Amino acid sequence: MQKINLLKQKCKKLSILYVEDEEKVRVQTAKTLSIYFDKIILAENGKEALKKYKHQKIDIIFTDINMPVMDGLSMIELIRKIDINIPIIVFSAYDNTEYLLKTIEYGIDGYILKPFNFEQIQKIIEKVINKLFNTSHQTHILKLISGFTWHIETQNLYKNEKQVVLTKNESSLFKLLSSTKNATFLNEEIESVLFNDNYSDNKRVRGLISRLHKKVGTHLIKSIYGQGYELNLDE
């Protein structure tokens, strides 16, 4: 009991996203997760979950794989382009090699086969919480040129220690560009992650970059001709 109470204390302030298309399973599992977490955000499919993830602070993701509209693997792939560190736990009835290899490739933190029990959920939560608390004391500040810093944990941009106010899309762009050091992101990748719709128009990305240039200058985000964009790091 003491062990559970200690775990609850660590989980209490964390926000989790739980994605499951079957209502009965979603309600039952959410009830179990609520033993540990006060804030549980629910979604019925990957597309809905991705939208909620972009607009709310999420600490841990629990997801099914086989869902309509957007499956769990597609959602995880898109989220990993934004954040390579957020813990992701998969609940699935599938145990074939293809699914397992894909989840390993995307760096998930746990894979629990359905039907699962209380002990399995508790064990995986303990693992994830230990990972979160062991890394929470590490520095998560990315130094950029011209006195700018991007704070990965809070997703805030600073100029000489003064916060620069960003819109949701501007913040999401910085989050994506900072997810992989020295990486160039294509227009198509940025559009897919930020807008997540079937409408393709590179003008949206160019417009977003143009507005950011006016706000932070033209050198912070580099345009790589014929390829895409990347952050200009202070190295």
Residue 98 falls in which region: left (phi positive, over 0), alpha (psi -120 to 50) or beta:
alpha
Residue 99 falls in which region: left (phi positive, over 0), alpha (psi -120 to 50) or beta:
alpha
Q: pLDDT tens-digit profile of 108-142?
A: 888 888 888 888 888 899 888 887 776 544 457 78
Question: Do 131 and 145 fall into the same domain?
Answer: no
Cα separation, 36 vs 16, in Å, equals 10
Q: pLDDT tens-digit profile of 42-81?
A: 999 999 999 999 888 899 999 999 999 999 999 999 998 8
Question: Do 16 and 90 fall into the same domain?
Answer: yes
**What integer pLDDT is reported at residue 55 of this predicted model?**
84
* Least confident piece of the model among 89-103, 139-153, 208-222: 89-103
Q: What is the CATH number of the domain that holds 50?
A: 3.40.50.2300
Question: Do 175 and 89 fall into the same domain?
Answer: no
From the list 209, 203, 212, 185, the residue with the least C-alpha distance to 81 is: 185
Could you give the number of structural domains in the chain?
2
Angle (CA) 51 53 54, round 5°? 70
Question: Do 126 and 183 fall into the same domain?
Answer: no
Question: Do 19 and 58 fall into the same domain?
Answer: yes
Question: Do 62 and 99 fall into the same domain?
Answer: yes
Quote the pTM value.
0.62
Question: Do 100 and 162 fall into the same domain?
Answer: no
Question: Do 115 and 152 fall into the same domain?
Answer: no
Question: Do 85 and 14 fall into the same domain?
Answer: yes
Last residue of a domain, one of 107, 135, 163: 135
**What integer pLDDT is reported at residue 97 of this predicted model?**
62
Question: Do 158 and 203 fall into the same domain?
Answer: yes
Cα separation, 176 vs 185, in Å, equals 8
Whether residue 200 has pLDDT greater than 80 = no
**What integer pLDDT is reported at residue 69 of this predicted model?**
95
Q: What is the CATH number of the domain that holds 180?
A: 1.10.10.10
Domain ranges, residue 158: 141-231
Residue type, 62: F
Question: Do 179 and 64 fall into the same domain?
Answer: no
What stretches of 94-188 adopt beta strand conformation (E)?
A: 110-113, 141-143, 148-151, 156-159, 162-164, 185-186
Last residue of a domain, one of 135, 160, 177: 135
